[in-house]
Structure 1
């Protein structure tokens, strides 16, 4: 009996589920990894990634593929190989309790490796594995356009930075942020005016609407400016939040204020923006981390370090 006529063991499938669940923290990154690995990724779209937990999504995919190994065994082998070869866990460092998450991921991958010793020992299977790797690498190269677009945005930002006309630079910044937020699928809206107010923009993230205020001025933002922005948010629907972007940062007074008008705001500065443009963290991940920190601690300013 040839290798491909054998069923993949239950122990191996369980180890694969555990490893996939732990090597990525967000469902979006996990889904992308699986889609890039599979030769037939359409099965991924049959899963409810919004309502399911990571484990539920992974279990449903693996179980469906395992029931039809006559159709999906090659893709299962690709998942086993690529997951077993996983050895870079640096993307987990940005999340809380990173050491524990990395340790769990490494343990799960090692368990998968131990369960799959001998799976790729024959020359025929080694060839197939190499072909799978080549296919996966080709798909990854196609996704390099992400980095190219990010580099274009960074170059555009530096062009704005050397503009001596501060008023013109402010308008350029609004347009730039609109492009950046579009790039990360945040459905941004350009600046608009309502009675007595000027709003720099708005966007939607994680089913929550945000108002945007962006400033690029020589001085740091003080508490009074945050109070003014907070007042605009309080006049909107109850669950509306605000993102204040100040390239020159914030005064200590503004970041330490306990005024309730600012408790629906999270803050970003120039350092945060550069981390995004340099590809060290996604804008969506930064928003998630900052919002969660604010919800847990009440602190509206949180600097993400160590990425």
Structure 2
């Protein structure tokens, strides 16, 4: 069966279809019945058509009515074409009486098949061209967004004397970075006096509390203890990610690993840079850090180490 693409058919195709219709129907009533009963033409499609007209006029009026319907008319034309292409009744009375020429009718249908096939291939070629253009544009926009994120991160690094403003800007940056990778980060909120910097969902319904800091010094043991305790007391969010641009003191990481179950994992600025430089995607980085935290109790493994061990 020849596939009929949803395209605008040329006048040549319509003329060929008309030849086919005139070639397979001898009686005008049979043509009208075919259009109405087999092709589903509506009263609007058949408006102004009756048996007082010659067959050629019937087809011309049909085309005019269909054109007025726009896209729905195109669908109707496709249906008529499909039914004609499937026509196989060349042994009927009028063919046997040679009032209709079966060989000529078959040639017209084959000609229509060829024309439709060429149109379908051309339409597929155009669609493929549009698809490729869309892919190129999507890649361009993606690269531009990543470039903008890199610039935002660089600007944040220069805000040395504006700690509070940088904190708010860093929060926005993280929301945009996570959103770039289709990970929704919820905005900060409070629970009974506690400030929760945000949360995000990963691995289905698994949620992670997220605390982010941009301070001039590495995060200390007290900061990690406080965050780990905050995470452990939340039934809805029993896991957490602590983001500290300037990293964590070795003592802090060691103490948390020694005295707490691995319910958190750590991300530093170097990890974010690897993501921005497209050395690793954010989802891959998060999945690997979660895996190492839960299976080995290693709450901090640098992205460079992750990349070197996975290559």
**Given the two structures, how large is their TM-score scaled by the length of structure 2?**
0.53
* RMSD (Å) for aligned C-alpha atoms: 2.7
Consecutive unaligned residues of structure 1, counting only runs of 5 or more, are 1-129
Indicate the residue corresponding to 2:278 in structure 1: 279
Partner residue in 2 for 1:151: 147
Other structure's SS at 1:143 match: helix
Determine the structure 1 residue equivalent to 2:164.
167
Deviation by residue 1:129-178 (Cα, 9 ceiling, x = unmatched):
x9999777545413312121111111112122212211111111111111
- Shift of the 239–162 alpha-carbon distance from structure 1 to 2, 3 Å rule, reads closer
2:191 to 187, 191, 194: 194
Q: Which runs of 4+ in 1 moved over 2 A?
A: 130-140, 257-262
Q: Report whether the alignment pairs 1:183 with 2:175.
A: no
Structure 2 counterpart SS, 1:292: helix
Q: Aligned partners of 1:159, 1:239: CA distance in 2, in Å?
A: 32
**Equivalent in the alignment of 2:239:** 241
Bigger Rg, structure 1 or 2: 2
Contact 2:209 2:237 in 1 (8 A): no
CA–CA distance in structure 2, aligned partners of residues 299 and 264 of structure 1: 10
Alignment of structure 1 residues 118-137 onto 2, 5 Å: none
Secondary structure of the corresponding residue to residue 298 of structure 2? coil
8 Å contact 1:242–1:264 — kept in the other structure?
Answer: yes
Segments of structure 2 that go 5 or more residues without pairing to the other structure are 1-124
Distance 2:229 2:258 in 1: 11
* Cα offset, 1:214, TM superposition: 0.7
Please state if 1:293 is matched with 2:292: yes
Contact 2:208 2:237 in 1 (8 A): no
Report if aligned partners of 2:224, 2:252 keep a CA contact under 8 Å in 1: yes
How far off its partner does 1:260 sit?
A: 4.5
SS in 2 for 1:212: strand
Deviation by residue 1:107-143 (Cα, 9 ceiling, x = unmatched) = xxxxxxxxxxxxxxxxxxxxxxx99997775454133
2:85 aligned partner? none
CA deviation vs aligned residue, 1:44-79 (integer Å, no higher than 9, x gap): xxxxxxxxxxxxxxxxxxxxxxxxxxxxxxxxxxxx
1:87 is aligned to none
Aligned residues: 181
Q: Report the Cα offset of residue 251 of structure 1.
A: 0.5
Give the structure-1-normalised TM-score.
Answer: 0.53
State whether residues 208 and 240 of structure 1, in contact with CA within 8 Å, keep that contact through their aligned partners in structure 2.
Answer: no
